[in-house]
Structure 1
Amino acid sequence: MSSSASSDTVAPGISREAFGHLPDGRPVSLFRLANRQGLRMCVTDYGGIIVSLHAPDRDGKLADIVLGFPDLDGYLSPLYQQANPYFGALIGRYANRIADGCFTENGTTCRLTVNDGDNHLHGGARGFSQRLWQAETFEHDDGVGIRLRYISADGEEGYPGCLECDVTYTLDDDKALTIDYRATTDRTTPVNLTQHSYFNLAGEGSGSIEGHYLQLNADAFTPIDRGLIPTGEIRSVADTPFDFTTMTRIGDRIEAPDEQLQLAGGYDHNFVLAWQTPPSDELRLAARLWEPDSGRQLEVATSKPGIQFYSGNSLDGSLIGKSNQTYRPRSGLALETQLFPDSPNNSHFPTARLRPGDTYVSRTRYRFSTDQEPR
């Protein structure tokens, strides 16, 4: 059953339906969530994928604003597996890249699966985005949600220790999606969890995100090398195409003759959130995204010290989404709250080390609204 086609009027609550089977025969479920403010979301227990997310425009008209497929087959197809853009998925154990697929812990070199050139990306060849999670739904007075649980075995994708992970999606009546991450381990291991939805506030399949306006509460970013690995430098955004400290149209500078943009084919960089230096556990505003035609606005608040702005550069037109439209470069953008890429190999970056007895805890909140003009 398609996850995107339905009436604009849906009663608040949660329903569950079959979404297909994995190659080994295990059944996969799709969960439909709706709140009292008109937000609707479909989530599958395969990869914790947000399959669809409907939000109203300034006239109250709903549109699906995340990229993805109408059925499980789209996420399992060889074409998708080869490109692997991680549409809507939970990412772990480590979001983003680890150089050369290795790091040193207590004098021991740990070698991870290499799946991005010479590097390790988004948890490896079968990261959390390709695992079947245990799911439990809940409802309370001001929202609905789903709790996902996965146990990552010692040695999975090369990571040390057994990691127990819980991720909760809550769709509340304040027009917000809140994601709570929690993890514990029995051996010291790096952990960096995030959510990899691609947003297009004009509507999925509607074209480029270059007309969106973006503001990032970041006065610095981490430059990359040719392998998209941070060089270790923390560079000011001042007087560069990376200055999003005020609302800026994405397309205005994405083709600027800047070496960093050329290396990534656009934006694919970690931004250092100004208010997180030094790190803090407080949930604060990190980003604001606005699309002028629909009036939809997205605010991202997080307890993480970094946010990856990815402008969908690698989408090459080979994938067809829910609206039967081709996903071309910059058809959607990701705002991935995170620790910094390659933190295990950069001691001056915020640590990703999780030790036995400690608990990894973080929260990210996506709040949706509409506005005639960017604020």
Structure 2
Amino acid sequence: MSVQQIPTGKIINGEEVIAIELTNSKGTYIQLFNYGAIINKFIVKNAKGELQDIVLGFEDVTQYLDEEYLINNPHIGAVIGRYANRIKDGKFSIDDEHYQLVKNTGTDSLHGGDIGFDKKVWDIVEVGDEGQSFVTLEYESVDGEEGFPGNLIIDLTFELTENDELILTYEGETDKATAINLTHHGYFNLAPNGGNVGKHTQQIFASAYLEQDENYCVTGKVIPVENTPLDFTQPKTFEQDWNPSEGYDQTFVLDKIYGDLSLAAKTFEEESGLTLSIYTTESVAHLYTSKYLRAKNGKDGKYYGAFDAFCIETQHHPNAVNIYEFPSTILRPDELYTQTTIFKISVNK
């Protein structure tokens, strides 16, 4: 178990970008950047004993700043904030105060606005000692950033265990009531050579999903998954029921008590023998099979296109700040925002 910090020599907004490497005794290896709290590499041993990277990303951190990449706005591997997913019309109210956010997807606000947490250099505030493999990053989002109220401080710890679990623990405090909904936007592919994820087998422990409008914004209506293509209560491949030109881009309401850490989803890929199990304290998981992914010069020179990855974004209900029947996404000065999500890798030999 070890942690290493490696200067990249890259300066963004006057701050140096550091690569942080987490390893365990099994050879599992995580590379993070303090820019965007990006998980850039997640290397594990597959059923053949081969080392395999299961996340999309780039060799050079500056590629995350490429203009063409940013136009497509895929948020590869980054932490999303202040507010994951879409807020309808980019506006909300708290205690009769009205707030207008940056609109960066049609008439709505997506993933925190134009310059969200995924485009910030985070401070490294703590790293594990010998025998510990963790790092804690911190970011202070100032009052008014992207239109959100309050000075919000977020601490995010990445911990790699001997059981091949990557544990993400979030804590947040604010000096003024604000809206918050954080998630991690990793793009996963469990196949040894990547490519279309249609044959991955997926299970999501959710008996309902959230209706979306034509712009993918949640309306407030909760719909049973039974007898729909969105029923993943039993394992099935993505391609079994998907529209091959659309894939999936949907939020599922997990069959769990909010705040309890429990299994949300499992993904299996036959050739590698790898299973990714995701545990979370959050109330929903958003499944996205990367229809809009367009990124060139990925790792090993790969082009990442539509359906070359899947994302499972654990979070609070999207647009809940405007739908009062949903669990609250308002954080107040006397409260602590907390979330834990675990990405666990196992091998079926």
TM-score scaled to structure 1, two decimals? 0.90
Q: 1:287 aligns with which of 265, 268, 271?
A: 265
Residues 118-149 of structure 1, C-alpha deviation per residue, up to 9 Å, x if partnerless?
A: 11111110000000100145336764011000
Residue aligning to 1:101: 90
CA shift at 1:320, angstroms?
2.6
The question of 1:301 aligning with 2:302 is answered no
CA shift at 1:319, angstroms?
2.2
Q: 2:166 aligns with which of 177, 182, 194?
A: 177
Q: 1:62 aligns with which of 48, 51, 59?
A: 51
Give the structure with the higher percent strand: 2
Paired with 2:126 and 2:298, the residues of 1 have a C-alpha distance of 27
Paired with 2:321 and 2:167, the residues of 1 have a C-alpha distance of 27
Residues 221-261 of structure 1, C-alpha deviation per residue, up to 9 Å, x if partnerless?
A: 001111110121100000000000011101111117xxxxx
Contact 1:100 1:120 in 2 (8 A): yes
Identify which range, 31-40 or 97-106, moves more after superposition. 31-40
Aligned length: 349
Contact 1:20 1:71 in 2 (8 A): no
Paired with 2:222 and 2:331, the residues of 1 have a C-alpha distance of 24
Contact 1:34 1:144 in 2 (8 A): yes
Q: 2:105 aligns with which of 93, 116, 123?
A: 116
Paired with 1:255 and 1:65, the residues of 2 have a C-alpha distance of 25
Q: Provide the secondary structure at the position in 1 that maps to 2:113.
A: coil
Residue aligning to 1:9: none
The equivalences for 1:9-158 within 5 A come to: 12-139=1-128, 143-158=132-147
Residue aligning to 1:274: 255
Contact 2:2 2:130 in 1 (8 A): no
Paired with 2:108 and 2:157, the residues of 1 have a C-alpha distance of 29
Q: 1:344 aligns with which of 321, 331, 348?
A: 321
CA shift at 1:106, angstroms?
1.2
Q: CA RMSD in A?
A: 1.5
TM-score scaled to structure 2, two decimals? 0.97
Paired with 1:302 and 1:71, the residues of 2 have a C-alpha distance of 30
Contact 1:113 1:157 in 2 (8 A): yes
Q: 2:213 aligns with which of 218, 225, 231?
A: 225
The question of 1:255 aligning with 2:255 is answered no
Residue aligning to 1:329: 306
Paired with 1:20 and 1:330, the residues of 2 have a C-alpha distance of 33
Q: 2:339 aligns with which of 345, 358, 362?
A: 362
CA shift at 1:25, angstroms?
4.2
Residues 65-122 of structure 1, C-alpha deviation per residue, up to 9 Å, x if partnerless?
A: 1001001121011011111200110111111110110001111211011111111111
Structure 1 residue identity aligned to 2:248: Y
Contact 1:142 1:172 in 2 (8 A): no
Judged with a 3 Å threshold, the aligned counterparts in structure 2 of structure 1 residues 40 and 23 are, in CA distance, closer, same or farther, namely closer
The equivalences for 1:183-198 within 5 A come to: 183-198=172-187
Structure 2 regions of 5+ residues with no counterpart? Answer: none
Structure 2 residue identity aligned to 1:176: E
Residue aligning to 2:290: 312
Which ranges of 4 or more aligned residues in structure 1 deviate by more than 6 Å?
none
Residues 302-344 of structure 1, C-alpha deviation per residue, up to 9 Å, x if partnerless?
A: 000000101011013x423112111110111111100011011
Identity of aligned residues (%): 35
Judged with a 3 Å threshold, the aligned counterparts in structure 2 of structure 1 residues 233 and 359 are, in CA distance, closer, same or farther, namely same
Paired with 2:131 and 2:45, the residues of 1 have a C-alpha distance of 19
Paired with 2:268 and 2:234, the residues of 1 have a C-alpha distance of 12
